[in-house]
Amino acid sequence: MTDSPLRVIVADDHTVMRSGLVALLTAEPAITVVGEAGNGREAVELAGRLAPDLVLLDLRMPVMDGVAATAEIVPSGTRVLILTTYDTDAEIERAVEAGAMGYLLKDTTREQLVAAIHAAARGETVLAPRVAERLVARMRRPAQIPLTPREIDVLTAVADGLSNADIGRRLVIAEATVKTHLLRIFAKLDVGDRTRAVVVALERGLLRRS
C-alpha cells in the first residue's frame, strides 16, 4: 500500500444513504470517493472505468444486485465491501462466495466503517460482529471438530503473514475459496479474526511454532 488516499466508489440505491456515506468518507483524508452508483450495473461500469481500490456496495439494488455486481467487479482486482441491512445466512454466504472482502451492517459506526474499508483494501476479511456470531452459531459443532488438511494449510499460510490473495496463489485455489476456508476455521475454533485463529490453533497444537 502507498500513502495515497484509497479510491472508493459508493453504490447504494437509496439517495439519502448514499449521500450520507459519501459525505462521511469525503471527510476522511485517507479516502477519496471517486464515484457514486445507484444500482449494481452502474457500480460495475464505474469500477471498470475508474479502477478504484474498493467499492462499498449495498446488497439489494435494482438492475443488478450486490452479489452479481461483486462477481463482476472482483476479477478486475478491485476489492468489494458489502454494507447492507440484511444479515441472513444465505445472503452472507452468497456475498462471500462472490468475492466480497467483507460484510458490514448499516448500524456500524463511522469508526468501524472506516477501519473496515482500510482492512478490506489490504485484503483482509472483515465481518460485522453480529454477522460473525451468526456464522459461528450456524457452523459450530457440538464438540471440537478437527481442521481439515486444507484448513491447516490455509491457517499455516495465515500464520506466515500471507494475505488471502497470496494464500490462494500458494495453494492454487481461488481467493473466494480461501475466504470460505477462513470462515469455517473461525467457526470451528470459535474465533472472530485471523490473529485469534492462529493463537488458538497454536494453543491447541494444530500448528507448529516456527
Dump pLDDT digits (tens) for 173-185.
999 999 999 999 9
pLDDT in tens, 2-30: 478 999 999 999 999 999 999 999 999 99
Domain assignment present for residue 81? The answer is yes
Percentage with pLDDT > 70 across the chain: 92
Domain assignment present for residue 208? The answer is no
Kindly state the DSSP code that residue 193 receives in the 8-state scheme.
Answer: S
- Residue 80 pLDDT greater than 80, yes or no: yes
Residue at a domain's end among 83, 112, 135:
135
Domain assignment present for residue 1? The answer is no
pLDDT of residue 137: 62
**156 and 60 within one domain:** no
pLDDT in tens, 35-45: 999 999 999 99
**129 and 28 within one domain:** yes
- Half-sphere exposure in the Cβ direction for 169 (13 Å, CA): 4
Nearest Cα residue to 131 out of 86, 175, 184, 79 = 86
Number of separate domains in the chain: 2
Q: What is the CATH number of the domain that holds 72?
A: 3.40.50.2300
Domain assignment present for residue 88? The answer is yes
**148 and 121 within one domain:** no
Q: What is the CATH number of the domain that holds 193?
A: 1.10.10.10
Q: Distance between CA 208 and CA 205 in Å, rounded?
A: 7
Average pLDDT over residues 79-107: 86
**112 and 15 within one domain:** yes
**173 and 119 within one domain:** no
Residue at a domain's end among 117, 135, 153:
135
pLDDT of residue 141: 47
Domain assignment present for residue 125? The answer is yes
pLDDT of residue 1: 42
Q: Distance between CA 63 and CA 56 in Å, rounded?
A: 17
User: How many CB atoms lie under 10 A from the CB of residue 199?
Assistant: 15
pLDDT of residue 198: 92
Q: Which residues contact 62 (CB under 8 A, 6 or more apart)?
A: 13, 38, 39, 40
Query: Please, are residues 104 and 81 in contact by the beta-carbon 8 Å criterion?
Result: yes
Domain assignment present for residue 92? The answer is yes
pLDDT in tens, 109-145: 999 999 999 999 998 888 888 777 766 665 554 456 7
pLDDT of residue 136: 61
What range does the domain containing 37 cover? 6-135
Domain assignment present for residue 209? The answer is no
E-only strand ranges, the chain? 6-11, 31-37, 54-57, 79-84, 102-105, 126-127
pTM as predicted: 0.66
